[in-house]
A and B are shown apart, each in its own frame.
Chain A
Amino acid sequence: MLNIFKRFWQVNWAEQWQYRANLFMYLAYWLVSPIVYLSVWTTIANAQGGVNGMSASDFAAYYLVLLPVDIATAAITIHLFASKIQDGTLSNFLVQPVHPVLVNTLVTTISFKVLQLIIFVPIWIGLFLLFRPPLTITFESALLAIPALILGFMLNFLVDSTITLIAFWTTRVWSIHQLYWAIGAMLGGSFVPLSLLPGVIQSVARFSPMQLWLYFPIQLILNKQTPADMALNFGLQVFWLVIMFVIFRATWTAGLKKYSAVGA
């Protein structure tokens, strides 16, 4: 299995370097919104002397950590896989003895992510020098962030992939995904740090899977999670991962049945 991952990685890496411009455009697309939120919130905090206890430099620290966390845990199955279902190229992958999503798409996503992170390093250094936020990262918090990021990515990958599979039933999967993306940005902590959300929405967000691949790792890296928070969030990550894996498998089986009923 490792060998399959290695080869997929090599091929994807080669493919993605073919599309260097695409890589930069995607990265720019990925960075625009958080950098806008960062600018807006630091400006507001500067003008008001803080928002709900968060200073301008707290916002700067939050968003500077959010940027790499967002890239590390992002899922792009909708971009890689929805069109394959719609135009039938999925058939090419179905005749091969490896899972088109859990191997092919997963490795493509990871290799794309690694390339993006490499290109992102100098951009992040530039942003850091511009805002100079007080980063409260410790060795321990960075170490704990590794499993949190891996579990968060796997969870996001399964949720995004399951939504992508709706393409088996409708050609309008993109609009459904857009709605999911907007809700995810709010409940995940991308529009605004969760602690600033109104009470009810904050409670929903705390138990939603979305914060588990964004807000939780950010807070963990910034050393702002109590041991109890940490235990709860790691537990929630595992819980949602199991649930989503079951839902993904069921959707995949049903989707394939639908696909093979109408004429692959």
Chain B
Amino acid sequence: MTTHSPDADDPIVVEGLAKTYQVTDREGGFGAAVRSFVKRKYKDVKAVQNVSFRIGQGEIVGFLGPNGAGKTTTLKMLSGLLHPTGGKAIVLGHTPWNREAGFLSAMTLVMGQRNRLSWDIPAADSFLLNQAIYRISDADYKSVFGELNELLDLKDIMRKPVRQLSLGERMKCELAAALLHRPKVLFLDEPTIGLDVGAQVRIRAFLKEYNRRSGATILLTSHYMADVTALCERIIIIHHGQLKYDGGLGDLSRRIAPYKIIGVAVENCEACDLSAYGQAVPNPNEDGKQYIQVAASEVSAVTARLLAENEIQDLTITDPPIEDIIERAFHE
């Protein structure tokens, strides 16, 4: 497992962070409701348990896990919305849940499923409000807006009331509004959720370029593996509130799935028996090829045998799909 090597200037430092929610626990029905009124039973839900990691300046880290794994809870603790029940976190030198103005002015939280812009007025008005809230000088505002406009092409959409924008247009405005104060740390919770493929690609390209230009540190959650492969060299996997993996994406596939997928098109044979070479796997591309799974260490030997013993028209060797790898990592 490779992790980021500690540095005193790391903008995000998390040590033993934990969050336990207390929820009321009762069965359905009238009797249970009355019993609960007299004596309420509580159940502890451990949303995050003893999670530690450090993120270095300028890194983009993918924070992955199935629904309910504790990702959003962790992001909310790191952005100061939740008090943890244990452990500590330092973001840009501040304890997030103290919500000091210096901290709030230097970070941003974007939640793809939540609307922060005012619904009834054009985004341009909300931008000006943010300029005042974050005390951005006119000169700085002009320069940062020019930059965001260049990357996101905002000019035509920011004059329409937000409720009349498409989801993709709205997300562009949400991101721009969240970045006007040039935050040094970005917490992005599902920033591309619900967007069509084209809009997803544009948001990804924007985030990558923004990170390159500003050197901002980004921690993002997403259920779209394309977001992760396009943006993150490093991922952190969390499941049932516990840290499962922290390291490079490539290392994970080598560790979790030390096998490759070989696709072959054999002359005059669309469904030959290739079980002697490896385990058959479903064809992901519907391209007329047959696919087998082969241990990484045996790939060259198996390929040589395939070529020697069959009339091969086409042959490809690929890594297993990232979704499969992540899914395996969750349950390992």
- Residues on A lying within 8 angstroms of B by beta carbon are 3-4, 6-8, 10-11, 14-15, 18-19, 89, 91-92, 94-98, 257, 260-264
Q: Are B121 and A263 in contact (CB under 8 A)?
A: no
Distance A7 CA – B127 CA, assembled complex (angstroms): 10
The chain B residue sitting closest to A88, CB to CB, is B114
A6 partner, pick from B99, B132, B134, beta carbons under 8 A: B132
Please name all residues of chain A whose beta carbon is closer than 8 Å to the beta carbon of B116 when the two chains form the complex.
Answer: 92
**With contact pairs A91-B81, A263-B73, A264-B81 given, residues A7 and B134 touching in the complex (Cβ less than 8 Å):** no
Q: Are B114 and A92 in contact (CB under 8 A)?
A: yes
- Within the complex, the shortest CB–CB distance from B215 to chain A, in Å, comes to 21
Please name all residues of chain A whose beta carbon is closer than 8 Å to the beta carbon of B47 when the two chains form the complex.
Answer: 263
Please name all residues of chain B whose beta carbon is closer than 8 Å to the beta carbon of A3 when the two chains form the complex.
Answer: 132, 135
- Within the complex, the shortest CB–CB distance from B190 to chain A, in Å, comes to 15
Please name all residues of chain A whose beta carbon is closer than 8 Å to the beta carbon of B131 when the two chains form the complex.
Answer: 7
9 closest Cβ pairs, A-B complex: A7-B132, A97-B104, A264-B81, A97-B101, A18-B120, A260-B83, A4-B132, A92-B116, A260-B82
Q: Are B133 and A4 in contact (CB under 8 A)?
A: yes
Q: Are A19 and B120 in contact (CB under 8 A)?
A: yes
17 A/B residue pairs, CB under 8 Å, sorted by A: A7-B131, A8-B129, A11-B128, A14-B121, A14-B125, A15-B120, A18-B121, A18-B161, A91-B114, A92-B114, A92-B116, A94-B80, A95-B79, A95-B108, A97-B104, A261-B83, A262-B21
- Within the complex, the shortest CB–CB distance from A255 to chain B, in Å, comes to 13
Interface of A: prevailing SS: helix
Q: Per-residue CB proximity of B97-125 to A under 8 Å, as 1/0? A: 10101001101110000101010110001
- Within the complex, the shortest CB–CB distance from A236 to chain B, in Å, comes to 34
Q: Are A260 and B114 in contact (CB under 8 A)?
A: no
**With contact pairs A92-B116, A95-B109 given, residues A257 and B83 touching in the complex (Cβ less than 8 Å):** yes
Q: Are A11 and B80 in contact (CB under 8 A)?
A: no
Number of contact residues on B: which range applies?
A: 20 to 34
The chain B residue sitting closest to A6, CB to CB, is B132
Please name all residues of chain B whose beta carbon is closer than 8 Å to the beta carbon of A95 when the two chains form the complex.
Answer: 79-81, 104, 107-109
Please name all residues of chain A whose beta carbon is closer than 8 Å to the beta carbon of B118 when the two chains form the complex.
Answer: 11, 15
Q: Beyond the given A95-B108, A97-B105, could you list 18 further A-B residue pairs with CB under 8 A, ordered by the A residue number?
A: A4-B132, A10-B129, A11-B121, A11-B125, A18-B121, A91-B114, A92-B114, A94-B80, A94-B81, A95-B79, A95-B80, A95-B107, A97-B133, A257-B83, A260-B82, A260-B97, A263-B73, A264-B82
Interface of B: prevailing SS: mixed
**With contact pairs A11-B126, A257-B83, A263-B82 given, residues A94 and B99 touching in the complex (Cβ less than 8 Å):** yes
- Within the complex, the shortest CB–CB distance from A80 to chain B, in Å, comes to 13
B76 at the interface (CB under 8 A from A): yes
Distance A96 CA – B105 CA, assembled complex (angstroms): 7
Please name all residues of chain A whose beta carbon is closer than 8 Å to the beta carbon of B120 when the two chains form the complex.
Answer: 15, 18-19
Q: Are A260 and B128 in contact (CB under 8 A)?
A: no
- Within the complex, the shortest CB–CB distance from B166 to chain A, in Å, comes to 20
Q: Are A10 and B83 in contact (CB under 8 A)?
A: no
Please name all residues of chain A whose beta carbon is closer than 8 Å to the beta carbon of B129 when the two chains form the complex.
Answer: 7-8, 10-11
Distance A98 CA – B135 CA, assembled complex (angstroms): 11
The chain A residue sitting closest to B101, CB to CB, is A97
- Within the complex, the shortest CB–CB distance from B324 to chain A, in Å, comes to 32
The chain B residue sitting closest to A95, CB to CB, is B109
- Within the complex, the shortest CB–CB distance from B195 to chain A, in Å, comes to 20
Please name all residues of chain B whose beta carbon is closer than 8 Å to the beta carbon of A89 when the two chains form the complex.
Answer: 114
- Within the complex, the shortest CB–CB distance from B223 to chain A, in Å, comes to 20
Distance A6 CA – B107 CA, assembled complex (angstroms): 24
Please name all residues of chain B whose beta carbon is closer than 8 Å to the beta carbon of A4 when the two chains form the complex.
Answer: 132-133
**With contact pairs A4-B132, A92-B114, A97-B104 given, residues A264 and B125 touching in the complex (Cβ less than 8 Å):** no
- Within the complex, the shortest CB–CB distance from A108 to chain B, in Å, comes to 11
The chain A residue sitting closest to B47, CB to CB, is A263
Q: Which of B63-88 contact A (CB under 8 A)?
A: 73, 76, 79-83
Distance A14 CA – B105 CA, assembled complex (angstroms): 26
Distance A7 CA – B134 CA, assembled complex (angstroms): 12
Distance A3 CA – B129 CA, assembled complex (angstroms): 9
Please name all residues of chain B whose beta carbon is closer than 8 Å to the beta carbon of A98 when the two chains form the complex.
Answer: 133
Q: Are B81 and A97 in contact (CB under 8 A)?
A: no
Distance A89 CA – B111 CA, assembled complex (angstroms): 11
Please name all residues of chain A whose beta carbon is closer than 8 Å to the beta carbon of B109 when the two chains form the complex.
Answer: 95
- Within the complex, the shortest CB–CB distance from A134 to chain B, in Å, comes to 45
Distance A116 CA – B226 CA, assembled complex (angstroms): 51
Please name all residues of chain A whose beta carbon is closer than 8 Å to the beta carbon of B105 when the two chains form the complex.
Answer: 97
**With contact pairs A257-B83, A260-B83 given, residues A96 and B121 touching in the complex (Cβ less than 8 Å):** no
- Within the complex, the shortest CB–CB distance from B118 to chain A, in Å, comes to 6
Distance A151 CA – B16 CA, assembled complex (angstroms): 48
The chain A residue sitting closest to B99, CB to CB, is A94
Please name all residues of chain A whose beta carbon is closer than 8 Å to the beta carbon of B80 when the two chains form the complex.
Answer: 94-95
